[in-house]
Amino acid sequence: MIVIAIDGPAGSGKSTLAKNLAQALGFVYLDTGAMYRALALKAQRLGIRPDDAERLAQLAESLAVEFRRDASGEQRVYLDGEDVSEAIRTPEVSNLASQISVHKGVRQAMVARQRAIGAQVSGLVAEGRDTTTVVFPNATLKIFLTASPEERARRRQHQLQMQGIEVPYEQVLQEILERDQRDSTRAESPLTEAPDAVRIVNDGWTKEQTLAYALQICRERLGLPAEAPHG
Binding site for ligand DC (CB under 6 A): 10, 32-33, 36-37, 94, 97-98, 101, 128-131, 179, 183
Kindly list the distances between the CA atom of residue 180 and the CA atoms of 24, 71, 190, 218, in Å, as whole numbers in the listed order: 29, 35, 10, 27
Q: Which is nearer to ligand DC, 137 or 229 (CB)?
A: 137
Q: Which is nearer to ligand DC, 181 or 216 (CB)?
A: 181
Q: Which is nearer to ligand DC, 10 or 211 (CB)?
A: 10
Q: Which is nearer to ligand DC, 40 or 218 (CB)?
A: 40
Q: How many CA atoms lie within 13 A of 53 on its CB side?
A: 7
Taking the complex as a whole, the smallest distance from the CB of residue 40 to ligand DC amounts, in Å, to 8
Q: In what order do the strands lie in the sheet with 75-79?
A: 65-69, 75-79, 82-83
Taking the complex as a whole, the smallest distance from the CB of residue 7 to ligand DC amounts, in Å, to 7
Q: Give the DSSP letter of residue 15.
A: H
Residue of 130, 113, 118, 3 lying closest to 65 (CA atoms): 113
Taking the complex as a whole, the smallest distance from the CB of residue 179 to ligand DC amounts, in Å, to 5
Q: What share of residues in the chain are helix, strand, coil (percent, to 5)?
A: 50, 15, 30
| Strand stretches in 28-101, DSSP E | 28-31, 65-69, 75-79, 82-83
Helix (H, G, I), strand (E, B) or coil at 75: strand
b/e per residue 14-30 (b: at least 16 CB within 10 A): bbbbbbbbbbbbebbbb
Q: In what order do the strands lie in the sheet with 141-146?
A: 28-31, 123-128, 2-7, 141-146, 198-201
Q: Which is nearer to ligand DC, 30 or 211 (CB)?
A: 30
Taking the complex as a whole, the smallest distance from the CB of residue 128 to ligand DC amounts, in Å, to 2
Taking the complex as a whole, the smallest distance from the CB of residue 5 to ligand DC amounts, in Å, to 10
Q: Which is nearer to ligand DC, 89 or 219 (CB)?
A: 89
Taking the complex as a whole, the smallest distance from the CB of residue 182 to ligand DC amounts, in Å, to 7
